[in-house]
Amino acid sequence: MIKFFLMVNKQGQTRLSRYYEHVEINKRAILEAEVIKNCLSRSKDECSFIEYKDFKLVYRQYAALFIVVGIDQTENEMAVYELIHNFVEVLDKYFSRV
């Protein structure tokens, strides 16, 4: 199950966030800061799956934009990785040159 979806730029600013289970506003800010720090600190040679607390992070970088999805332990990481790519392709087709 997907817990949250984030779009973040290289400076660490959240551009879009969507939560699929209730998280208090102050806890969201802390969670986003830690997730962004974990993803931005990794090199391109490292795996795009991170175990974080009680869930997994799947992220993908497109130019200056990181898309991060938080999932539970039972979800398939590769399926979510492909979901991210399909999402970007749809955005690109709809808005052209995403």
The answer to whether residues 88 and 98 touch, using CB atoms and an 8 Å cutoff, is yes
Q: Give the pLDDT of residue 98.
A: 64
10 Å Cβ neighbour count for 53? Answer: 10
Give the DSSP H or E segment for 78: helix 77-95
State both tokens at 32.
């986003």
pLDDT value at residue 48: 93
Please tell me the pTM assigned to this model.
0.90
Distance CA 54, CA 9 (A): 25
Q: Which of 70, 85, 62 is nearest to 36 (CA)?
A: 70
Fold of 2-95: Beta-Lactamase (3.30.450)
pLDDT (tens place) for every residue of the chain, 98 residues total: 999 999 999 999 999 999 999 999 999 999 999 999 999 898 888 999 999 988 999 999 998 899 999 999 999 999 999 999 999 999 889 987 76
